[in-house]
Structure 1
Amino acid sequence: MTVHVLNQQNTLLNKFISEIRDREIQKDAMRFRRNLERIGEVTAYEISRELNYAPRTVVTPLGEAVVQTIDDRIVLATILRAGLPFHQGFLNYFDDAQNAFVSAYRKSTKDGKFTVKVEYISCGELEGKTLLLVDPMLATGSSLVLAYEALCEKGGQPAHTHVAAVIASEQGLDYVQKHMPGATTTVWCAAVDEELTSRSYIVPGIGDAGDLAYGEKK
């Protein structure tokens, strides 16, 4: 399985990463959402380098031009609710993609542990298509793998899956590599952090992406 870590090169992406991490800038929810969206746009562009292309003839006012255009049938999927701004960044670029959504949440127990529950799936046909499964935080990796399995159960097996995260933990990356098909999965992360807290939050991370984007939940 190929893993791309985008902040290993110095680009404008690092500005957006620094702002979503900054606890003062995080107080502006609109800017936080927009930075997630911009990171999605950058990641979408990087992923586009690895897609399949075919020539298409375009008629201009003065003649014809042959342009290489994406030949993949793309399905863009995310996990509600934190994934929505990140998803929008991808949709800005893959604007004709089919879309899919998964509702997953942590069900906590009294001892502080939790299990991940998938409640809702909206998904069309995936068989033979290119799935972009995007979620801002890849912490333990269990939510993302469960979402992938639920999507495949409902829509069929994609030809290739691109997993995209803003911040990933090393543990989450290991889990994805062990539980998703390596030959047909590529992982893209803006940044990778080393630690997880006892509650499975990434350190230094950014905090709770859903709360920062949309307000605290009970």
Structure 2
Amino acid sequence: MDDFAGEARRVLVVDDSEVVRTKMRMLLQDDRDLELVGEAADGESGVAMAADLRPDLVIMDLRMPGMSGIKATWELGSRVPECSVLVLTVSEDPEDVADAIMAGATGYVVKGAGDDEMRATIHRVAAGERVLAPKVASALVERTRPHDSNGDNKRREPPPPSEEVREVARASNFWPNLAVALVAGALLTAIGLGDEIADGTATAGTWMLAVANVVIAFMLVNAGLLARRR
């Protein structure tokens, strides 16, 4: 690939699993467009290394001893704002997805993804794109589908942000403006409405617009960030 016009993107991997770090090392070692510049086993070390190495991309686990991936992502937003964060985790839980996006992550992929999908996602996020893995986007859509277990037409609200995210949000003026576009765009794309919305022909399934609006609303209002935007 020649995604970056001959200039390799610098990548830092932050994950407490040696197995995962080894896999990422092997995945990146033969890729001339990506250069692995460091590895860390916890969030605090990852933030410190990122501040020193100034990578273009940090691949971040969510659950680690000490500082979590969520808090580390918030920290990177203020200390290394030019770097993108791709969350790599086992979790497909919409609450974790929402927390990661609100913290400033520009991509989210699960560890069970195949090598080709993983490599493609890393390239896209490193190039500045905003990416939710299809499986993750589908989970967000399913979470808000207007039906319950009995098939009744009953909407389920999107997950509220965790207390961890609320705490960090209250203590910080940082707000990832890209979050709204990332969530709404991924949700619409997940059900194939992206092109229809673009040309104004969406009819069936227009409820998805309301879903996107609900997601956006909970991100802005429930986290108490709307008044803090600068």
TM-score of Structure 1 vs Structure 2, range by shorter chain: 0.3 to 0.5
When normalised by structure 2's length, the TM-score is: 0.36
Q: Name the structure where strand makes up a greater proportion of residues.
A: 1
When normalised by structure 1's length, the TM-score is: 0.38
Higher relative contact order (CA 8 A, sep 6+): 1
